[in-house]
Amino acid sequence: MRKNRFRTFLLWALLTLACWAGALAVFLGNRQGNQEFTGYYDSPVLTGKEMELFIGEREEEDLPLTVAWKEREKEDFSGNTGLTCQGNLLEISGEMKTLFSKQLIRGNFPWKGDTQGCVISRGLSRELFGTDNGTENEIRARGETYTVRGILEGEDNLLAVWAGEEEELENFRLFYDADLVPVSQAEEFLYQMTGTQPDRMFEGNLYGALSRFSLFLPVLILGALAGIRSFQAGRKQGDFRKKLCWYALTGLLCFLFLWGLEKSVRLSPDYFPSMWSDLSFYPQLLEEKVKTFRKLTALNICQADSRILTGTWKTILLSGSSLFLELLAYGRFPQKEGWHFYSPLHRIKEKRIGKI
């Protein structure tokens, strides 16, 4: 009975560690998103030439890395193999790698001035060229012929090229050096650059904060449960020195719990009220964020934002599974007597007493 209990505990504990390790891997892979914001506009607000002038000014000032683009849906593409299909065309001004963060799987991004270079998705590469590696092939779109320089992950048909000077741009992605930049600062920056507030705003640091807290939650709960057990064990001790040791351990666990709680909650100043007596601040904030999220998910978002959202949900799911398995393991934790092993001599004595 005791062995079965221990085996069950060990099984739940190993599954807990596996789920938490998976959540940690997803969180670390998605961590760069904490420094990124995306502003979406319903109509063009800047031209390619104006964007290039701004990029030149950025090198002289301490401004975030910025990329702008316009997306055209259901464009006709044809490859040098004779195959044709439809997909989305992105015309980009700025750094392509900022828009397609960690998505390049083969080749390179076209360099500045390479107006005939492009990157395509893996799905489009398969559709037109029958392979995952369609680099150096040619693709024709909107009367222009482009050479494929790199392949992006993703199964959707996507072609990304440099925007022309007269091309009108309507979406902007910002990359900051810090991960606690307020969204209000990013909105103000976009307003100064375009003269218009974005219709929708994607906050990478908000989803990063949700991922971070969900990742820490199983660890915090484990620390709290360990602290409770330690306190209960101290109360049962008759010896003063042992009782003191158990209480010291309880105090240490409490300190670690509070430290972990402080590290798990990392939000920008926008998420704290100017006056703590304002009880309506958080209900209004929650309503606003839910409304913004619905507006974002109702329309197309860029691949980088989609990647951040997917990573957030995966982290929350794996962390939640880890917490559930952790509670199951805690319920099967062997009691003190379960760890006591009798010596062979003690067993012989028990058998003799049983015979009498």
Per-residue pLDDT in tens (0 to 9) along the chain, 356 residues:
567 777 888 888 999 999 999 999 999 988 878 889 999 998 999 888 888 887 776 655 668 888 999 999 999 999 988 899 999 999 999 888 888 888 899 999 999 889 899 999 999 999 999 998 899 999 999 899 999 999 999 888 999 999 988 889 999 999 988 878 888 899 999 998 888 999 999 998 889 889 999 999 999 999 999 999 889 888 888 888 888 999 999 999 999 999 988 888 888 888 888 777 777 888 888 898 888 888 888 888 888 888 899 999 999 999 999 999 999 888 877 665 434 434 444 444 454 555 45
Q: Give Rg (Cα) of the chain.
A: 28
- Written as six digits, the tokens of 187 are 């909105």
β-strands 168-169, 144-152 pairing = unpaired
In a domain, 193, yes or no: no
Same domain, 64 and 27: no
Predicted local distance difference test score (pLDDT) of residue 335: 63
Q: How far is CA 16 from CA 1, 8, 135, 162, in A?
A: 23, 12, 42, 47
Q: Which has the closest alpha carbon to 292: 220, 161, 201?
A: 201
Distance separating alpha carbons of residues 188 and 40, to the nearest angstrom: 14
Q: Which has the closest alpha carbon to 91: 110, 74, 69, 76?
A: 69
Same domain, 67 and 148: yes
In a domain, 327, yes or no: yes
Same domain, 160 and 216: no
Predicted local distance difference test score (pLDDT) of residue 55: 73
Same domain, 164 and 255: no
Residue 323, helix vs strand vs coil:
helix
User: Amino acid identity of 34?
Assistant: N
User: Amino acid identity of 15?
Assistant: L
Predicted local distance difference test score (pLDDT) of residue 60: 55
In degrees, to the nearest 5, what angle opens at C-alpha 330 toward C-alphas 326 and 335? 155
Same domain, 127 and 236: no
In a domain, 230, yes or no: yes
Last residue of a domain, one of 114, 143, 169: 169
User: Amino acid identity of 229?
Assistant: R
Last residue of a domain, one of 169, 185, 219: 169
In a domain, 194, yes or no: no
Predicted local distance difference test score (pLDDT) of residue 59: 57
Q: CB under 8 Å to 259, separation ≥6 — which residues?
A: none
Last residue of a domain, one of 152, 169, 186: 169
Predicted local distance difference test score (pLDDT) of residue 165: 87
Same domain, 213 and 263: yes
In a domain, 116, yes or no: yes
Same domain, 150 and 214: no
Residue 208, helix vs strand vs coil:
helix
In a domain, 350, yes or no: no
Count up the domains in the chain and report the number. 2
Residue 182, helix vs strand vs coil:
coil
Region for residue 92 given its phi and psi (left: phi exceeds 0; alpha: psi -120 to 50; beta: otherwise): beta
Q: Are 93 and 67 in contact (CB under 8 A)?
A: yes
Predicted local distance difference test score (pLDDT) of residue 41: 92
Q: Are 70 and 44 in contact (CB under 8 A)?
A: yes
Domain span holding position 72: 46-169
